[in-house]
Chains A and B, each alone.
Chain A
């Protein structure tokens, strides 16, 4: 019965457990794995040969969980159940001492099962649960009180996991497996509370996000999980703080003639973390509410109340707030070892460069060369000890080379002299944030020479260049600074540039400038695909002026 309740409660909280999952691999399935493992345990326990004997039930559950164990946390959960089963072996009923012994066995078996036991995980939670069970056994004969203490200490242990594992601290979450275990204990404990009188049908209702997400601002910083799930958790933390924490309120409504669904509907609207279970005779209520008086008044209209308990959660709330405030007041993101600053003439190129890892993008290019000061400001904003600067235009290289002279002594600036945007993008692709400055400069210099840049524009006056007669309005192609092709329209000129390449490029990236519309550019690329079927084409919005098309050939 208790196991069934644990299962139901874990199922209810499954998604929340999944969302916390960042360790050991953030695949978001911890809750599902633990649920499926426990379900297998419950199914087997229901078939236990001696359903009235504790040892028989747990032995069956342990076997079932082992058969059905999924994922790391599921496997460890199965070992915890195996430990319980060993601990209660030979027992028909339980007292506080045998419960304490079973918890201790569970903890021991779980630790032995893991090759490199790591604190801040489900292991920490089972160990602290065992300690709580043992401490309680010395003070009380009441298993219910003992289990309540186990639940409380388990959740406290879960809250502390965030400080025990770097990966959790970085993601701003508590350990998913540990939380799943605490949730299972909670369901079990509630069921045991009810077991004397009630046929237990625990239905867990809405449960708010408890303060197990620290600070939303920290979530993306660690680089562990910047996924939408992490951002959701961050958002949840804000919402939860706004709601406040109020009072943990528990009582029993005594019948007869209680309407469970009606009570549930009415009371669950008054708070969070709602757990309302029972039948027409007795209903047990657990709610976190800001206004316990209204809740008690509403409940007392349904029947007489007993076992009323109201606990101020503000202390806990304050602790969470203090941690969050401390995180916000903490010094800003520490200075990186190595950063990259890039120059780009328009938003399109700027977005591409940022998506490839540029820390700062300075507006500028052919007609608006950024000053050394503009570059210096961006280099400082990159917040790194060493910065690689990509000028991406031959007219910017010189001012870029002066930045290191004017920068503070504790800031080193190196220029990889990219003459155009394709070179800059190619160099940036080769950037390895884990490698040192010198090896990056070498890699990026090598990479920049592996692309050809083709700039396509219309002549603004009649002229002669490189042996070509050029009339105003002609389309001209400049390949790595030399005018190579002249013609009437873009497609014909680009076509002849591509045909002249030996060896033929494998990939051509077309950056559309300000002038041609998206449709025009797509039509151009479509025609190039037919004339050059072996070449792969990609079209992106560069947004540059003066050059309707910039092409990168690799």
Chain B
């Protein structure tokens, strides 16, 4: 049996993960000495309340190799079992590094690791597509190879309210050049080869949302879209209205960005991921 493993930055709800049969390895969020497993011990709602009202700024860390070993061991019970493990970009987190160390303890070929080169909705779309491939009855080699190649058809645009959180968390990448504006500027970012890259600076949310749709148009035809908000559900409604008008035949998966990704996005962010056909 082919098992699919991902990490909590895919922002699946527990119910979704169960329904799809995907195993989620949680990253860790810390507020000072308090430690939470992403999405397990700390819900997104509770997290954003703390993020905006609490005095301690959260930090995050990758799962330990041991946690991955335990998951892989529980899944690789018989000789027919194999694991496709798809994770957050290695340039944003050491999660894949831990998975890699754990995978060394198992026979070669039983575990296939994929660096999604993206995060959140982008990662989730890759995982969902892999689940569909497994359900379609493809063998492990095919499913693994397809998952790796599919990365080139996935993209992510993120409109943040502020760069403060990304900067504080050290994940700002090339968007560094956007810092320091005296005017209130909202950064529109993308991921480029797994790194955060600047796309545009906009002065208003509506213009940013319009721009996301304009950026998506040349990517059509689209197989799926995902719209994820960071503590700002109204933004999902606003983008979905635009997406429904521009891509009436494409399914839009909506959700909320979990604590680990939210640590860097900050409240008021919205991300739209696409999977092109």
Chain A residues in the interface with B (C-beta under 8 A): 21, 24-29, 33, 66-72, 75, 78-79, 112-115, 223-224, 226, 351-352, 355-357, 425-426, 429-430, 432-434, 450, 506-507, 509, 536, 538, 540, 554
Contact = CB atoms under 8 A, between A and B. Distances in A.
A530 B70 CA distance: 59
5 contacts: A25-B170, A28-B170, A67-B64, A113-B100, A506-B204
Nearest to A32: B59
A79 B205 CA distance: 46
Given A67-B64, A507-B204, A112 B104 contact: yes
Q: When A and B form their complex, which 10 residue pairs have the shortest distance between CB atoms, in order from nearest?
A: A27-B170, A72-B94, A355-B182, A26-B170, A507-B204, A25-B170, A429-B201, A506-B204, A352-B182, A70-B61
A482 B191 CA distance: 44
A113 B16 CA distance: 32
A78 B171 CA distance: 24
Contacts of A75: 62, 64-65, 94, 97-98, 101
Contacts of B204: 506-507, 536, 554
B200 A430 contact: yes
B59 A29 contact: yes
B189 to A, nearest CB: 13
A77 to B, nearest CB: 12
Contacts of B182: 351-352, 355-356, 540
B66 A67 contact: yes
A430 B188 CA distance: 11
Contacts of B233: none
Nearest to B178: A357
Contacts of B98: 69, 75
Contact of B183 (A29, A352, A450): A352
B184 interface: yes
A25 B104 contact: no
A355 B183 contact: yes
B268 interface: no
Given A506-B204, A536-B204, 10 more contacts: A24-B91, A27-B169, A29-B59, A66-B65, A114-B97, A226-B176, A352-B182, A429-B201, A450-B207, A506-B206
A416 to B, nearest CB: 16
A165 B236 CA distance: 41
Q: Which of B91, B174, B183 has the most A CB atoms < 10 Å from its CB?
A: B183
Interface size class of B (residues with CB under 8 A): 35 or more
B272 to A, nearest CB: 20
B97 A72 contact: yes
B97 A554 contact: no
B213 to A, nearest CB: 16
A121 B71 CA distance: 30
Contacts of A28: 170
B92 interface: yes
A328 B222 CA distance: 53
Interface in B81-134: 90-92, 94, 96-98, 100-101, 104
A422 to B, nearest CB: 10
A435 to B, nearest CB: 10
Interface in B32-89: 59, 61-62, 64-66
Given A75-B65, A79-B101, A115-B97, A554 B183 contact: no
B52 to A, nearest CB: 19
B203 A429 contact: yes
Contacts of A66: 64-66
A115 B90 contact: yes
Given A67-B64, A355-B181, A113 B202 contact: no
B200 to A, nearest CB: 7
A113 B101 contact: yes
Nearest to B200: A430
A509 B91 CA distance: 37
Interface in B176-204: 176-177, 180-185, 198, 200-204
A509 B203 contact: yes
B60 to A, nearest CB: 9
Nearest to A36: B61
A296 to B, nearest CB: 45
Nearest to B176: A223
Contacts of A25: 91-92, 170-171
Contacts of A426: 203
B155 to A, nearest CB: 17
B67 to A, nearest CB: 10
Contacts of B205: 506
A63 B201 CA distance: 48
A478 B62 CA distance: 57
Interface string B161-178: 000000001110010110
A226 B176 CA distance: 9
Contacts of B181: 355-356
A351 B207 CA distance: 24
Contacts of A33: 61
Contacts of A434: 174, 198
A86 B66 CA distance: 18
A554 B207 contact: yes
A71 B202 contact: no
A75 B184 CA distance: 39
Interface in B191-249: 198, 200-207
